[in-house]
Amino acid sequence: MSNTFVRTLVTAVLAAAVSVGTLFAASALWPALRNPWVLIIVGAVALILGIIAGILGSYDLTTPSGWLLLLVDNSWALPSTLLGAVVGNIVYPFFGSPSTSQSAGQDWVSYKARGSSGFGVDVLQTLGTVNIGGSGNHERVHLLQARILGPLFLVIVGISYVVLFLFQCVWSITIGLILRLTKVRDTAWFRAPAKSAVPGFWGWIYFATPMELWAYATEP
C-alpha cells in the first residue's frame, strides 16, 4: 500500500472517530448531541475532510505536532473545523482547487485560486481548517485562534459582528449622519484603515472585531 493511501486512511478514520467521540463527551452537557443523525452527519463531514486532508498531506503524521493538531482540530476546535469543512468545501471549489503545495504539512486544507485576481487572490479567507489563497499576511493567525479558543472562537466572532453592526448602524443614522450632512465627515459610517481587506460600510465592522484586530496586529 502506498504512503498516501495509509496516510489518508489514518487521517480520515481518526478525524471521524475523534469528532464523534467529542460529541459523545459533550452530550453530557447537551444530550441532543447524542442524536444518531447528528453523530452520523458530523462523522461523515469529518471523514470527508479527513480524506481531503490525507490526500493533500495536510498533517505531517511523522511528527508529534501533526498528530496533536489533527486531534485538536477534531475535538477542542471541532465547531470551527466543521464550519470550514461544510462552508469552505462548498464555496471554495467555485473559485479554486485543493492545493498540495499550499496544504502539505501545513495542518490545513488550502485552495489555490484559479484566476489572477479576485477572491482567493486579493481577498483570502480561512474558515476553521479550510482556506483559500494560502497564508497571506495573517490567515494562519485565524487557524491559531480557532485552536486556542476552541468552541469560544465562533461565539466571539458572532457576538462581535452583531455588536459592531448595531453600533455602526446607530452611529451612521445619528451622529455620523449629522457629521456627513455638515461635511465634517465624507461618510456617515466608520471606515476601516486602507489595509483592511474589506472596504465600505462593512469594512469597519470586519476590521474592528477582536479576531481581526489580533490578526492584523501580527502584520509588519
Residues 166 and 199 in one domain: yes
Residues 124 and 81 in one domain: yes
Residues 10 and 73 in one domain: yes
Cell of 143: 487557524
Cβ atoms of 13 and 49 closer than 8 Å: no
Q: What is the DSSP letter of 87?
A: I
Residues 56 and 121 in one domain: yes
Residues 104 and 197 in one domain: no
Residues 60 and 162 in one domain: no
Query: Each residue's pLDDT tens digit in the chain (220 positions)?
Result: 579 999 999 999 999 999 999 999 999 999 999 999 999 999 999 999 999 999 999 999 999 999 999 999 999 999 999 999 999 999 999 999 999 999 999 999 999 999 888 999 999 999 999 999 999 889 999 999 999 999 999 999 999 999 999 999 999 999 999 999 999 999 999 999 999 999 999 999 999 999 999 999 998 7
| Domain end among 93, 126, 149 | 149
Residues 167 and 203 in one domain: yes
| Domain end among 110, 130, 149 | 149
Enclosing domain of residue 161:
152-217
What pLDDT sits at residue 106?
97
What pLDDT sits at residue 1?
57
pTM of the model: 0.92
Q: How many other β-carbons are positioned within 10 Å of the β-carbon of residue 63?
A: 11
Q: What is the pLDDT of residues 173-196, one digit of tens each?
A: 999 999 999 999 999 999 999 999
Give the 3-state secondary structure of 151-204.
CHHHHHHHHHHHHHHHHHHHHHCCHHHHHHHCCCCCCCCCCCCCCCCCCHHHHH
What pLDDT sits at residue 136?
85
Counting the structural domains of the chain, the total is 2
